Structure 1
Amino acid sequence: MSAPTVMIADDDEMIRAVVRDGLENEGYQVVEAVDGPAAVELCRTDPPDVVLLDVEMPGLDGYQVLTELKGDAELKDIPVVFLTSRSTMDDVVAGLRGGAHDYLSKPFEGAELLARVAAASHVKKLQDELQERNAALEELVRIDSLTGLYNRRYLDQELTRRLSDSLRHGYPLSVVLFDLDHFKRVNDIYGHAAGDQVLRAFAGHLHRELRPGDVGGRWGGEEFLVILPHTDLDGAFMLADRIRSATAAEPVSADGQSITVTISGGCAVGPFGSVEAMVKLADARLYQAKLAGRNQIVTAATPPIG
C-alpha cells in the first residue's frame, strides 16, 4: 500500500519547506500548492489523502478553498487541517463549521503537526474502507451471484424507471424475455453443477451482445430479461436473435461433456401500461416460441386484448 499523500497549500515558501521535510521524514508523499486556485486544481487532478490549508492565500483564501472542496462530491471527504496565524475562537468555529477536520495555529510544533496529520490520515483511511464496503454491499443487492448479471430486484427497478422515462420523452422501449430450452433436462442428465455452468455460459453470451445503455439480467431460474431503451421491435428482434444464434452455436463444456444449449425468446415494445404488462406480453410471446418448436424469437408490437 502506498504512503498517504498530503497536500500543503500555503503561499509561504519557508513554511512549505519545513512542513514538507517533516512529513517526508515520516514517510508521507507531499505535494504543494502556492495559492488557493492551485490547491483546488491539484485536488481535482490527483486527490490527496489530507490537505494542510493556509487561511490567508492569494486567489482564494482557505475558507473559499474549503467551500470548493466540500461542494465537490469527489473531494468532500478529504480531511482538511487549517494552518493559520489566526487563532480566535471565531476563526476556529468558522473553519470547523465549514467542514474542516482540524485547526492548527502558527507557529506550531512539528510533533503536534505530525499527530494532527496522522489523525486526519486515519480518518480518511476509515472513510475509504467504509465506502468500499458500502459499494460491495450495494453490488450484492443488485447482482445475481451465480451469473454475475443484474438480479430481478434491480431489473424491476430499472424497468420501472425506464418505462417512466420513455413515456415522458416518447421514445420506444423494448423488453426481451429469454428462457433456456429444456433446462430441467440438463439438470437431470448432467447434474446441477453442469446446469449452473450452462447458466453462466448463457450469461456470458448475453453480456457480450448487449450494447451500451442496454440492461440485462437474470429474471429467475433459467429466465433472463433484457431492457432495450430507444429500441424498436425490429432492433429488439435482431439483438435477441444474435444472442439466440450465439448460444446455439457454442456448446457448453461441463465436466468433460459438451452440452448443446438453445434458447427461446419473446420481444415486446412499448411504452404502454405498466412494467407488469410489458413483461406479460414478452412472456406470452416467449410461450408462443416454445409452442412453435423452441430455439426461436417471437415478437409483438401491441399489448394483448383483455
Structure 2
Amino acid sequence: MSGRVLVVDDVATNRLLLRAKLSSAYYDVVVAEDGPKALDLARSEQPDMVMLDVMMPGMDGFAVCARLKADPETAHIPVIMVTALDTAEERIRGLEAGADDFLSKPFNDLALFARVRSLMRMKMMFDELRLRDLTSRELGLAEVMPDQDIEAEPSGPILIAPPDAGRGGQLAAELGARLSIGTIVTSSEREALNLSRLELPDCFIVHQTLMEGGDGLRLVSALRARPETRQSAVILVVENGDVGTAAKGLDLGASDYIEAPFDVNELIARIRSQLRRKRYSDRLRSNVRNGLKLAVIDPLTGIYNRRYASQHMIRVMERARETGGVFAVMMIDLDKFKSINDRFGHDAGDAVLREFSRRLQENIRGVDLVARFGGEEFFVAMPDVDAGAAGHAAERIRRAIEDAPVRLPGGAGEVDVTVSIGVAVAGAGDGDAEAIIKRADSALYLSKEGGRNRVSFFARAA
C-alpha cells in the first residue's frame, strides 16, 4: 500500500528522519516547516495523510489540525499528531481538535507503520465513498450532504468485551454516564459475537485478553469479517504498552487502540472521534444508496447499471491521472445463458443472474465497482490494479462461478454455469472511458472464441 504523506515539523532533522522512514516503505513524502505552509500544501497536494508536530512556533499543531478539519477540502484527510509530550491531556486535546491519533517521539517503527497502514486503508475507503457520492450528485441523484447535525445523530450501543467482570462493569458505568449511550458488557468472546448480531453496536471496546480464555485479536478479526459489524468502530485495549499486539490489532481491522491503564477521558475522546467517523461514513453510504436506487441500480440484481458505471469510469480515470497509476476493467459474459432460459424458463435465468451477481461481489475488493450492462453482460472497474493483480482477480471470479452449480427456484434442481472474461488494463492517457470498455469487450470476444470459460487480455497492436 502506498500513498502520499505530508510531514509537518519546524525542525529540519525531524522532517528528514520521518521522510527517510516513510520513503523506505515507498510512501511519497511532502514536507512543510510551519502551519501556514502545511495548510497550503494540504489543499494543493491533497495528501493521503498528515503527520503533524504539536510544538511549532506561531501556529501550533492543534491549531493546524483544527483548521484542516474545518476546511471541506481537507477535512477527510487523516491527521497523526507527533509529540514529545506523551500525556493523556495532550492526546485528548488533539483528538478534540480532530486528530486521528498520536505518536510520541522517539518513534517506534512498528507502531508508526501499523498506524500509517490503518489510516491509509481508512482514507482509501472514504475516498471511494466520496467518489461515489460525487458521481451521484453529478448525475442529479443526490444532494450535497449537510454536516451540521452529524454530532446529534443517535448512536447504537457500545459493546464492551473486558478482561474481567469488575473492570467491564466499572467502564460501562462511566461510559454510560458520560456519553448517554447504552452499553453492553459481555462475558466471553462467543457472547460478544452473538450479541453483535442482535444489538448492532456502533462501537466495540475489546481488551486483548478476554474472559473464559477468549482472544481479543480473534474477536477483532471476526468483527471485521462479518457484514453486520464490518462498519462498526473497534477500539482495542492493550496492556502495558504492548505495541506488537496493538500493531497486529490495527492490521486485523481495529479502528484504534488505547493502552491500559488509561484515562477514561482519553477513551471517551477516542470513542467520540470513532463515532463521528462512523456517522460520516454511514451518511455517505446512505446518500449514495438512496439516491441511486431508482435511476442507476439494476432492479434484478441490485448492482449498478451501465449509466452509473460510465460516469464512475470518468472518476476512476481522473484518479489515475492524479496518481499516475493504472486501473483495470473487465467485461464478463455468462456462457450459453440463452440455453438456461430456454430449458428452465426466465425465472430460472433470473435466479442465475442474481446468484452470479452475489458471487461476483464476494470475489472483488470493496473499492471495485460492479455493474450489469444488460442481459448476461457484466462489468467490473478496478482502480489501482495492474495486469498481474487483474489476472488473479479474473481467475478468482471465473473459478467461483465454475466450482459450484446454481440452485434453481421451485425445486427445479441445479445448473452448471461458467463465464468468459475480457480484461483491459489502462492509464489515464489511454483513451476515453468508452474506448477502454471496448478493449475489454474485444478481450471478452477472444475468450468466447477460444472456447469460453476463460480469461483473455486485450493485446495492443504491435
Is TM (by shorter chain) over 0.5?
yes
Paired AA for residue 354 in structure 2: R
How far the C-alpha of 1:264 sits from its partner, in A, is 0.1
Q: 3-state SS of the aligned residue for 1:268?
A: strand
Paired AA for residue 251 in structure 1: P
Q: Does 1:300 align with 2:458?
A: yes
Aligned residues: 182
Report the Cα distance in structure 2 between the residues aligned to 1:74 and 1:230, rounded to whole angstroms. 33
How far the C-alpha of 1:143 sits from its partner, in A, is 1.3
Measured at CA, do residues 300 and 190 of structure 1 come closer, stay the same or move farther in structure 2, by a change above 3 Å? same
How far the C-alpha of 1:168 sits from its partner, in A, is 3.2
In structure 1, what is the equivalent of residue 324 of structure 2?
A: 170
1:125-175 CA distance string (max 9 Å, x none) = xxxxxxx89963532223111111111111111111111221232101100
Quote the RMSD (CA, aligned, Å). Answer: 2.4
Q: Is the 8 A contact 1:233 1:301 kept in 2?
A: no
In structure 2, what is the equivalent of residue 196 of structure 1?
A: 350
In structure 2, what is the equivalent of residue 236 of structure 1?
A: 390
In structure 1, what is the equivalent of residue 283 of structure 2?
A: none
Q: Is the 8 A contact 1:269 1:301 kept in 2?
A: no
How far the C-alpha of 1:180 sits from its partner, in A, is 0.3
Measured at CA, do residues 245 and 167 of structure 1 come closer, stay the same or move farther in structure 2, by a change above 3 Å? same
1:97-135 CA distance string (max 9 Å, x none) = xxxxxxxxxxxxxxxxxxxxxxxxxxxxxxxxxxx8996
Report the Cα distance in structure 2 between the residues aligned to 1:158 and 1:191, rounded to whole angstroms. 34
How far the C-alpha of 1:179 sits from its partner, in A, is 0.2
Q: Is the 8 A contact 1:263 1:294 kept in 2?
A: yes
Q: Structure 2 matches for 1:65-84, cutoff 5 A?
A: 73-75=147-149
How far the C-alpha of 1:213 sits from its partner, in A, is 1.0
Q: Is the 8 A contact 1:244 1:262 kept in 2?
A: yes
Q: Which has the higher contact order (CA 8 A, sep 6+)?
A: 1
1:241-293 CA distance string (max 9 Å, x none) = 11110101111111322110000000000021011111111011100100110
In structure 2, what is the equivalent of residue 264 of structure 1?
A: 420
Q: Does 1:181 align with 2:335?
A: yes
Q: Is the 8 A contact 1:270 1:301 kept in 2?
A: no
Report the Cα distance in structure 2 between the residues aligned to 1:301 and 1:230, rounded to whole angstroms. 20
Report the Cα distance in structure 1 between the residues aligned to 2:304 and 2:330, rounded to whole angstroms. 15
Report the Cα distance in structure 1 between the residues aligned to 2:343 and 2:316, rounded to whole angstroms. 40
Q: Is the 8 A contact 2:423 2:440 kept in 1?
A: yes
TM-score by length of 2: 0.37
In structure 2, what is the equivalent of residue 225 of structure 1?
A: 379
Q: Is the 8 A contact 2:442 2:458 kept in 1?
A: no
Q: Is the 8 A contact 1:172 1:270 kept in 2?
A: yes
Measured at CA, do residues 253 and 278 of structure 1 come closer, stay the same or move farther in structure 2, by a change above 3 Å? same
Report the Cα distance in structure 2 between the residues aligned to 1:232 and 1:289, rounded to whole angstroms. 20
Question: 5+ unaligned residues in a row in structure 1: which ranges?
Answer: 1-40, 42-70, 79-131
Report the Cα distance in structure 2 between the residues aligned to 1:212 and 1:135, rounded to whole angstroms. 15
Larger Rg: 1
Identity of aligned residues (%): 40
Measured at CA, do residues 200 and 135 of structure 1 come closer, stay the same or move farther in structure 2, by a change above 3 Å? closer
TM-score by length of 1: 0.55
In structure 2, what is the equivalent of residue 140 of structure 1?
A: 294
Report the Cα distance in structure 2 between the residues aligned to 1:159 and 1:199, rounded to whole angstroms. 23
1:218-250 CA distance string (max 9 Å, x none) = 111111100011101111111011111010111
In structure 2, what is the equivalent of residue 273 of structure 1?
A: 431
Measured at CA, do residues 147 and 134 of structure 1 come closer, stay the same or move farther in structure 2, by a change above 3 Å? closer
